[in-house]
Amino acid sequence: MTTKAIVVEGGAMRGVFASGVLDAFLEQDYKPFDFAIGVSAGASNLIGYLTDYPHRSINVITKLATSKRFFDPARFVKGGDLIDVKWLFEESNRQYPVDEVKLFDGIPFFATTTNVDTGKADYYRITRHNFHHAMEATTALPIAYKHTPCFSGGCYTDGGVADSIPVREAYRLGARDITVVLSHPLEYAKSRVKTPWLMRKLFAEHPKMAEAMLQRADNYNESLAFIRNPPADAVIRVIAPPSEFHVQRLSRRQSVLIEGYEMGLIAGRNHLLDD
């Protein structure tokens, strides 16, 4: 029997598209997957999907992630966090508590993190014991979030640095039928960093992190190449935003976010019709 997986990309507020896709799946009780892997906002979106909690993600995005408590440029200028991912995670769970039995004892759920010492991706199976740490780590955008989460003998930052689209990890774990939900239109390609010297300066204390940031575009585009030309024994199904998707990494306008969510709903429903 073919092992099936779902992979959900991050992208901060661009993750609103995936929240729509996953809500469309919940409408039809579509859960054929043997495991799930999420990155950053993609991992956060999967929480609502895996616990059968429709609209959780869109509420978190439009009601909490747009608040000044989460995103505060003035706080950042004074030396604080630009985005407070720990607050967002804790407040999300307070306002929208999830069924922990479904989350921890259901479909295996992995979150992608970037190890600051190695610059490589570490993939954590989410459990009751590491839930808070791993979710903080996968969403801990470097520079924007000042606190580096440390647990299980390592220190981590946003999983998107080392592996934005962990489709190759899903394949390595045995999946041969992989559904990938992207945060950019399929024609997108990531550009290389234009100021490598600045990146090395910003991450002077963690040179492997600096290298990971510099290699990020290549890794991202290699994942896209894997998606477009999968191994002969694998099928990869892609759900990507349309070219008119206007949500940016830090978009906060409600109308733009809702439009992006509705694009995700449509794309998810169309995917099910074609499946």
**From the candidates 81, 158, 163, 183, which is the catalytic residue?**
158
Measure CA 232 to chain center: 27
Q: What CA–CA distance (Å, rounded) separates 116 from 150?
A: 10
Longest dimension (CA), the chain: 55
Locate 226 and state its tokens.
Answer: 């894997």
40 is catalytic: yes
Q: What is the DSSP string of 51-119?
A: TT-TTHHHHIIIIITTSTTTB-HHHHHTTS-SB-HHHHHHHHHHHS---HHHHHHSS-EEEEEEETTT-
Four-point Cα dihedral 228, 233, 237, 243, nearest 10? 0
Please say whether the beta carbons of 33 and 179 come within 8 A: yes
User: 199 Cβ partners below 8 Å, 6+ apart?
Assistant: 193, 210, 213, 214
Q: What CA–CA distance (Å, rounded) separates 37 from 43?
A: 7
**From the candidates 19, 23, 40, 122, which is the catalytic residue?**
40
CA atoms within 13 A on the CB side of 133: 15
191 is catalytic: no
Active-site annotation, residues: 40, 158
